[in-house]
Structures are given as structure tokens and as C-alpha cells.
Amino acid sequence: MDVSIRLARPREAAIVYRILMEAYAPYRGKVVPPLKVFESTPASIAVDIRTRRHAHALAFVGPTPVGTVRCTPGRNGHGQKRWTLSRLAVLPDYRGEGIGAMLMRWMEDRARQCGVVELRGEVRTALPFLVRFYQCLGYQVLGYRSKPGYARYLTIIGKRLR
């Protein structure tokens, strides 16, 4: 499969949005508390990209956009660069071909080139196959996050880069 990956431009926000909504649709109304991804809009994604608050990668099969992942630059407690990866999504028809893993590795390579020492992510604890997916990519479980009524609903994952 001819897969290429690059960063999305602000005018491609609607494409990112469409992939996210289609990929996450089965979680709507099922995963609690609801996923924040459902609060996003094409306009909010465009602002995020334009202001560089978040970057979104897009994966293409030939000319067709089929997957995305979001990266949020930040720093750890020592002032070193730490990026948070989130909103990984691949359209249902294109799953199981390694595109999700490719998107994660592509962001990881960019992170290394930018001098990032650590990657972080958060996964719903109720979706253990996703925690396993990230473990296969070298991430470790670092802890959990809770909020009233939802003990340990988020699993925090991370990976040190050298």
C-alpha cells in the first residue's frame, strides 16, 4: 500500500475532522465520560493548526486521506521538550494495515529530530486493546487519571526517546 504522511495545513482541518468523527463514531454515547474529540469542529482544528497549539499529521493512501494523529508540544518538569500524542484515527476501511502504527512512528521520528526527550499519551482504560497497541509501539503505562465518579478512567502512557 502506497502510504504517505505529512502535516495537515489549516485549510485541511475539515479533512482531519471528518476522519476523526468517522473513526471515533463507535465510541459516541458508549465511552464515559464522553471523549473530548466530539467537542472539536473543523474551525477549532483550523485554529489549533494555525496557532501551532496542536499539529495534526495526515496519512494518505495514494491521494486519499485515511488517518490522522495530533501532537501537542510541551515541556516536562525539567524544561525538556515533551510532546503529547493524541487523537490517533484511521478510517475503518483502512485499518489493520499498519497505518496507525506508521502515524505514531512518523510523529516519533519528527520528535527525535526536534530534540524531544519524551512522548506522552492518554488512553481510556476501558479500551484495553488500545493500551496494548501502544505497548507494542514501546510505550509504558506510567499511571492513571481519575475524576469524581470515574476512577482510573485514563491510562497515562509514555515513551523516552534517545
Q: Which of positions 93-132 make contact with ligand COA (CB under 6 A)? A: 95-101, 123, 129-130
Q: Which of positions 42-101 make contact with ligand COA (CB under 6 A)? A: 88-90, 95-101
Q: Which of positions 132-151 make contact with ligand COA (CB under 6 A)? A: 133
Shortest distance in whole angstroms from residue 133 CB to ligand COA: 4
Binding footprint of ligand COA, residue count (CB under 6 A): 16
Shortest distance in whole angstroms from residue 8 CB to ligand COA: 16
Shortest distance in whole angstroms from residue 79 CB to ligand COA: 27
Nearest to ligand COA of 53, 93 (CB atom): 93
Shortest distance in whole angstroms from residue 5 CB to ligand COA: 12
Q: What H or E segment, with its residue span, contains residue 124?
A: strand 118-124
Listed in sequence order, the DSSP H helices in 35-98 are 42-51
Q: What H or E segment, with its residue span, contains residue 155?
A: strand 150-160
CA dist., res. 52 & res. 29, Å (int):
30
The closest of 122, 118, 162 to 144, measured between CA atoms, is: 122
Q: Does 24 sit near ligand COA (CB under 6 A)? A: yes
Nearest to ligand COA of 62, 96 (CB atom): 96
Shortest distance in whole angstroms from residue 44 CB to ligand COA: 18
Task: List b or e across 37-73, with b for residues whose CB sees 16 or more CB atoms inside 10 angstroms.
Answer: beebeeeebbebbeeeebbbbbbbbeeebbbbbbbbe
- Distance from the Cα of residue 148 to its chain's centroid: 25
Enumerate residues 6+ apart whose C-beta is below 8 A from 113: none
Instruction: Please give the residue ranges that form the binding site for ligand COA (CB under 6 A).
Output: 23-24, 88-90, 95-101, 123, 129-130, 133
